Amino acid sequence: MTNATPVRVRFCPSPTGNPHVGLVRTALFNWAFARHHGGSLVLRIEDTDAARDSEESYDQLLDSLRWLGLDWDEGPEAYAADAEGTDGGAVGPHAPYRQSQRMDVYRDVAERLRAAGHAYRCFCTPAELEERREAARKAGRASGYDGACRDLDAARIAAYEAEGRTSIVRFRMPDEPITFTDLVRGELTFAPENVTDYGIVRANGAPLYTLVNPVDDALMEITHVLRGEDLLSSTPRQIALYRALAEIGVGKGATPEFGHLPYVMGEGNKKLSKRDPESSLNLYRERGFLPQGLLNYLSLLGWSLSEDRDIFSMDELVAAFDVADVNANPARFDLKKCEAINAAHLRELPVAEFAAACAPWLAAPYATWAAEDFDQAAFDELAPLAQTRLTVLADITQNVDFLFLPEPVADEASWQKAMKPGAADVLRSIHSRLAELDGGSWRAEPLKEAVLAAGEAHGLKLGKAQAPLRVAVTGRTVGLPLFESLEVLGRERTLLRVDATLAKLAAQPGS
Ligand code: GLU
CATH of residue 88's domain is: 3.40.50.620
Would 87 be classed as within a structural domain? Answer: yes
Q: How far is the CA of 233 from the centre of ligand 1 (A)?
A: 13
Provide the H-helix boundaries in 176-234.
209-219
Q: Which of 26, 43, 57, 227 to mutate to test the pocket of ligand 1 (most atoms within 8 A of CB)?
A: 227
pLDDT at position 288 is 98
Q: For residue 273, what are the CA distances in angstroms to 26, 53, 301?
A: 15, 19, 15
253 and 292 inside one domain: no
Per-residue confidence (pLDDT) for residue 68, from 0 to 100: 98
Active site residues: 274
Q: Quote the number of domains for the chain.
A: 4
Ligand 1 in contact with 14 (CB < 6 A)? yes
Least confident of 38-42, 112-116, 276-280, 363-367: 276-280
Is residue 259 lining ligand 1, measured as CB closer than 6 Å? no
pLDDT at residue 81 is higher than 50: no
Same domain, 107 and 224: yes
Q: What CATH code is carried by the domain that includes residue 373?
A: 1.10.8
Q: What average pLDDT score do residues 164-191 get?
A: 98
- Using alpha carbons, select from 311, 299, 355, 290 the residue that is nearest to residue 69: 290
231 CB within 6 A, ligand 1: yes
* Distance (Å, whole) CA 271 – CA 263: 7
- Position 146 in a domain: yes
Query: What's the pLDDT tens digit per position in 180-223?
Result: 999 999 999 999 999 999 999 999 999 999 999 999 999 999 99
CA of 90 to the centre of ligand 1 (A): 19
Q: Is the pLDDT of residue 87 over 70?
A: no
Residue 508, pLDDT score: 85
- Give me ligand 1 centre to Cα 97, in Å: 14
Flag whether 60 is in a domain.
Answer: yes
Among 205, 233, 261, where does a domain finish? Answer: 261
CA-to-CA distance for 120 and 148, rounded, in angstroms?
11
CATH of residue 428 = 1.10.10.350
The predicted-structure confidence for 2-17, as pLDDT tens digits, reads as follows 557 899 999 999 999 9
Give me the chain's average pLDDT, please.
Answer: 95
Phi-psi region of 459 (alpha: psi -120 to 50; beta: other; left: phi over 0): left
Lowest mean pLDDT among 9-18, 77-86, 472-481: 77-86
Top mutation candidate among 20, 98, 213, 229 for ligand 1, by most atoms within 8 Å of CB: 213
pLDDT band, very low/low/confident/very high, at 1 (cuts 50, 70, 90): very low
Mean pLDDT lowest among 15-24, 82-91, 126-135, 427-436: 82-91
Closest atom, ligand 1, to C-alpha of 228: 8
- 113 and 256 inside one domain: yes
Q: Which domain holds residue 358?
A: 350-403
Determine whether the shortest distance from the Cβ of 227 to ligand 1 is under 6 A: yes
Same-domain check for residues 311 and 435:
no
461 pLDDT higher than 90: yes
User: Per the domain annotation, does 81 fall within a domain?
Assistant: yes
d(CA 39, CA 34): 5
**Cα(193)–Cα(175) distance, rounded to whole angstroms?**
8
> Residue 510: which pLDDT band, with cuts at 50, 70 and 90?
low
Determine what percent of the chain is predicted with pLDDT higher than 70: 97
Residue 90 confidence class, pLDDT cut points 50, 70, 90: low
399 and 304 fall within a common domain:
no
Residue 257 half-sphere exposure toward CB, CA atoms < 13 A: 18
The answer to whether residue 173 sits within a structural domain is yes
Residue 452, helix vs strand vs coil: helix
Has residue 2 been placed in a domain?
A: no
Listed residues 202, 227, 261: the one ending a domain: 261
Asked whether residue 231 falls in the same domain as residue 278, the answer is no
The answer, yes or no, to whether any atom of ligand 1 lies below 6 A from the CB of 232, is no
* End position of a domain, from candidates 332, 367, 383: 332
Which among 323, 119, 120 has a CA at the least distance from the CA of 240? 119
Within a domain: 338: no
Asked whether 53 lines ligand 1 (CB < 6 A), one says no
Q: For residue 429, what pLDDT is reported?
A: 98
Are 270 and 136 in a shared domain? no
Q: For residue 4, what pLDDT is reported?
A: 73
On whether both 284 and 176 belong to a single domain, the answer is no
**Atom 10 of ligand 1, residue of closest alpha carbon:** 13
Which ranges constitute the DSSP H helices of 98-256? 103-115, 126-138, 154-162, 209-219, 235-247
For 198-327, strand residue ranges (E) read 198-201, 224-228, 257-261, 264-265
Q: State residue 3's pLDDT score.
A: 55
Q: Which atom of ligand 1 is nearest to the CA of 26?
A: 8
The rounded percent of the chain whose pLDDT value lies above 90 is 91
In this structure, the answer to whether residues 124 and 196 fall within a common structural domain is yes
- pLDDT band at residue 77, thresholds of 50, 70 and 90? confident
Residue 269 and residue 257 share a domain: no
**180 and 226 belong to one structural domain:** yes
Q: Is 340 within a domain?
A: no
Q: CA–CA distance from 5 to each of 263, 269, 482 (Å)? A: 30, 40, 60
Q: Computed over its alpha carbons, how large is the radius of gyration of the chain?
A: 32
Give CA–CA dist 178/384, Å, rounded. Answer: 59
pLDDT tens digits along 388-440? 999 999 999 999 999 999 999 999 999 999 999 999 999 999 999 999 999 99
CA nearest ligand 1 atom 4, residue: 13
438-458 pLDDT, tens per residue?
999 999 999 999 999 999 999
Domain with residue 116: its CATH number is: 3.90.800.10
Instruction: Check residue 79 and give its pLDDT.
Output: 63
C-alpha to C-alpha distance for 172 and 184, rounded to whole angstroms: 28
- How sure is the predictor about 82, in pLDDT bands with cuts at 50, 70 and 90? very low
Asked if residue 334 has pLDDT above 80, the reply is yes
pTM over 0.85: yes
Residues 191 and 222 in one domain: yes
